[in-house]
Amino acid sequence: MATSWRSGSSSSFTSSALSAQPSHPQHASPPPLPSLPSPDCAAICLLTPRLSRKLFERTPNEMTVYLGPWEIVGSNPRRLLWQCSYAGEVLEHFLPSDNPNELFPHTLHAQHRRFGDPRELELYLSFQEPHRIRYTTTDGTLHDEYIEVKYEFTTIEGSIQLQSDIRKRDLIDWFDVDVVWSDVHRRTDSYGNVRGLGTIQRMKLWRDRYSTFHYLTFYANHRRRWKEYLVDDFERELRQRDDRHKRVQLGVRGARRGSASESSQGRERRFATSIFSRSSRHNHSSGTNGNTTSSAAQGALGIRYLGIQFSRNTNVQAGTDGKSVIYRSTPLNPCSTIILAVNAGSSSVKVSVYTAQRGEPPTQIAEVQVSGLTAPPAALKYERGDETVIEHREVDEQVNGQTDAFRVILETLVNDHDLPSIKSKDDIGIICHRIVHGGDYTKPQLVSDGTYTHLEKLNDLAPLHNANSLGIVRLCIKDFPSARSVACFDSQFHSTIPEHIRTYPINQEIARSNRLRKYGFHGISYSFITRAAAEFLGKKPDETSIIAMHLGSGASVCAIKDGKSWDTSMGLTPLSGLPGATRSGSVDPSLVFHYASDVGKLSPSSTKDLHISRAEEILNKEAGWKALTGTTNFGAIAAGDHDERGDKRLAFDLFVDRICGFVGAYYVSLRGRVDALVFAGGIGERSDRLRAAVVEQVACLGFALDRDRNDAGTVTGRKGVIVQEVGKPGVTPRVLVCRTDEQFEMARICAEEGEFW
Ligand SMILES: Nc1ncnc2c1ncn2[C@@H]1O[C@H](COP(=O)(O)OP(=O)(O)O)[C@@H](O)[C@H]1O
Ligand SMILES: CC(=O)OP(=O)(O)O
Ligand SMILES: [Mg+2]
């Protein structure tokens, strides 16, 4: 098995590793060659002690382990978990970085094996720095050491799959090239010797799994570090690449792992691995450094292009499919497109479709929603233009949760032949998603694997929302590969909340390192409400101060001072503040420990995407209207039907009490400078009884309701009416109902923000 991987060696990999019998230390007589579960996934990992720099020399410790399918598990560190061929045998490969973009599986250039099919070099993968490998059998751990790791695959597809899984980017092609240089790295040195940035390199082309971005990676051998560039423009130049003298120049942006001077002003942002760590669960996670460090931002010199000279060998250029690369850059700034805006709430999924011109407010052409996810049967409603195509269709059988609801919505849109603007999936240019918890993001983000990985870490902080939304994001990326996915955050509107209001009175070191503070939610809605109310009042948004209430399955109140969020009732998570359909809202934090035992344990309903303790489950899913009345339909609660036991009355009065508590507090916090009290959300827009009860209780602050206007003031469904007055004429502060539209707000931002085109 002695073979060398050193550059220039003509040694072949072919023989011994595959043909050798596995020298399994636990078996006296050599076991038969294992039958591997799936030939595509089968791999052989050759381990050799770190001591020896010469790989694969016969040493007493040398062993070959036959591996079956893999799984990538955990975080901090992520581990590649291999199923081995013997029961109880596990091989764990600890990935040195949780950031998938920082891992670079290495394959040699075809010149290192001149007489064979260069594609087969992908069968042999290595990592250039030692990684920790733990190999455990039923008899205990046999090996736990940092070593140089090399995998030898039985199929090229298996290797490509593993590389893609590790990097969370699909390896879509590769190129063996003679030299790579750039506008800041010359091709030759002052003696005319070829130096470039990398020589005799296998460059790999990756497509981000969560966006349409494409990246090139290669090993800059004279600097001994990996480089990764976002490719701007590709297609034309690389079609004819099997020519030694062919040189191309590619537009690129940014560099990962480059030195500061090699970085650019590109959009690449690298996040510290564990932005959010929860002390209760990940005690030792390294989540203290939440700063978003942009290596790119530091650079003075930007690389604008890479020059590439291909190698001559007709075989050499054969990439993953042997054909020329099929690379489609994202559409180049079209002037108009279709935007899909997706709002996954806790009890509904609402999707609106817009035609949009760059820089202009979008025009809605259709809206589909599935509501009642927590109050079955779930029902679908579909409007196209001014026409209600489906008023109410029960879809309970097809729908179990938000992702299913989204699928049903997509089907409805795609199967509607009278929706001419969408002829094919490629017509959709931008899909914007409401993501409830956006951590420290203060503006919408194009979804890349970086943002996606970052957002995944926030799932546990919005247990009824984030994981569902990311499920929909994943589905869109798969089903609409040519569309750009944009994440819009509920929390971003609240980034203006002053420090003394957003701070929790706890140990500040822990608060800072675990990022424990008030974030606030429903912000996309509050942003819409602020602009709509300002327009209605004839004021500039930044001169408008209101107390707005988004009352839906999740309910919150927000004090908006001069157009900006000043305070809001939700906090670190959407649990605090007002009660909701299944949420308790604020309770004494100790309550839960007296409610049930073992509440700190992980709930059995946790999934791989969402880790939720019993305590969180009780307060988020087994409380609120559901717990008090058995229904989550606030319409039925407000109507008080069949309320012999008085549960609904209690729930109604309790809700009014809690809402008024916040209105009073915010009125004082805004020093009485309030232009209007604004009702919004499913309940706020539809329940005249609730509005009447709230306004009556806060009448001492000067609010007054006009009964007639209020009774007629259900704005939802009344086309064209966005804000309606329900207060007494001439009385200030005013009382308004706003038909909030989170989808429109997201689509508007995406249409107006050139960056997303
Ligand atoms: N006529 C009505 N009167 C009062 N509440 C209603 C009425 N119709 C629906 N609702 C309430 O509106 C809530 C849905 O609000 P909405 O903001 O659309 O949902 P989500 O929180 O899922 O985004 C439902 O939970 C329901 O209780
Ligand atoms: C944040 C939140 O609770 O949202 P929703 O009301 O849509 O569930
Ligand atoms: Mg909602």
In a domain, 520, yes or no: no
Q: Please state, in angstroms and rounded to a whole number, the distance separating the CA atoms of residues 322 and 174.
A: 10
Tell me: do 356 and 309 sit in the same domain: no
Ligand with minimal distance to 349 CA = 1
Mark which of 138, 167, 196 sits at the end of a domain: 167
> Whole-structure pTM over 0.80, yes or no?
no
Enclosing domain of residue 595: 588-622
In a domain, 240, yes or no: yes
Q: Give the pLDDT band of residue 375 (cuts 50, 70, 90).
A: confident
Q: How far is CA 392 from the centre of its chain?
A: 32
Tell me: do 673 and 735 sit in the same domain: yes
Tell me: do 598 and 647 sit in the same domain: no
Q: Please state, in angstroms and rounded to a whole number, the distance separating the CA atoms of residues 486 and 468.
A: 16
Ligand with minimal distance to 679 CA = 1
Which helix H or strand E contains 531, and what residues bound it?
helix 523-537
How much is the average pLDDT of 10-24?
Answer: 25
In a domain, 495, yes or no: no
Tell me: do 616 and 629 sit in the same domain: no
- Identify the residue whose C-alpha is closest to ligand 2 atom 8: 346
How much is the average pLDDT of 697-709?
Answer: 97
Look at residue 257 and tell me whether its pLDDT is greater than 60.
no
Q: Considering Cα of 578, then 580, then 586, then 587, what sign does the dihedral take?
A: positive
Tell me: do 50 and 103 sit in the same domain: yes
Look at residue 180 and tell me whether its pLDDT is greater than 60.
yes
Q: Is the CB of 201 under 6 A from ligand 1?
A: no
CB 369 within 8 A of CB 379: no
Q: What is the ipTM of this complex?
A: 0.98
Question: Catalytic residue at 170?
Answer: no
Catalytic choice (178, 490, 647, 688): 490
Tell me: do 156 and 201 sit in the same domain: no
Tell me: do 133 and 266 sit in the same domain: no
Look at residue 363 and tell me whether its pLDDT is greater than 80.
yes
Q: Is the CB of 93 under 6 A from ligand 2?
A: no
Distance in Å, CA 365 to ligand 1 centroid: 23
Q: Is the CB of 348 under 6 A from ligand 1?
A: yes
Q: Please state, in angstroms and rounded to a whole number, the distance separating the CA atoms of residues 42 and 19.
A: 15
In a domain, 58, yes or no: yes
Q: Which of 1-15, 47-61, 89-103, 509-523 has the highest mean pLDDT?
A: 509-523
Q: Please state, in angstroms and rounded to a whole number, the distance separating the CA atoms of residues 367 and 360.
A: 20
In a domain, 218, yes or no: yes
Number of domains in the chain: 5
Distance in Å, CA 601 to ligand 3 centroid: 29
Tell me: do 183 and 260 sit in the same domain: yes
Tell me: do 159 and 27 sit in the same domain: yes
Structure tokens at 423: 């002829």
In a domain, 528, yes or no: no
Distance in Å, CA 555 to ligand 2 centroid: 7
Q: Is 687 annotated as a binding residue?
A: no
Tell me: do 618 and 631 sit in the same domain: no
Structure tokens at 47: 């381990």
Q: Please state, in angstroms and rounded to a whole number, the distance separating the CA atoms of residues 568 and 662.
A: 9
Q: Comparing 219-228, 414-423, 631-640, 710-719, which segment has the lowest mean pLDDT?
A: 710-719
Q: Is 185 annotated as a binding residue?
A: no
Q: Considering Cα of 253, then 258, then 261, then 265, what sign does the dihedral take?
A: positive
Distance in Å, CA 414 to ligand 3 centroid: 24
Mark which of 295, 329, 363 sits at the end of a domain: 329
At 493 the three-state DSSP class reads: helix
Tell me: do 303 and 230 sit in the same domain: yes
Q: How far is CA 235 from CA 321, 327, 429, 675, 755, in A?
A: 16, 6, 20, 55, 22
Q: Comparing 330-344, 414-428, 732-746, which segment has the lowest mean pLDDT?
A: 330-344
- Region for 88 from its dihedrals, namely left if φ exceeds 0, alpha if ψ lies in -120 to 50, beta otherwise: left
542 vs 260, which has greater pLDDT?
A: 542
In a domain, 702, yes or no: yes
Domain of 636, CATH number, reads: 3.30.420.40
CB 170 within 8 A of CB 157: no
Tell me: do 323 and 349 sit in the same domain: no
Please compute, for residue 59, the number of CA atoms within 13 A of its CA located in the half-sphere on the CB side.
15
In a domain, 502, yes or no: no
Mark which of 329, 345, 375 sits at the end of a domain: 329
Dump strand ranges (E) for 578-671.
none
Q: Please state, in angstroms and rounded to a whole number, the distance separating the CA atoms of residues 212 and 427.
A: 15
Q: Give the position, in ligand 2's atom list, of the atom nearest the Cα of 681.
A: 6
Q: Please state, in angstroms and rounded to a whole number, the distance separating the CA atoms of residues 707 and 712.
A: 9
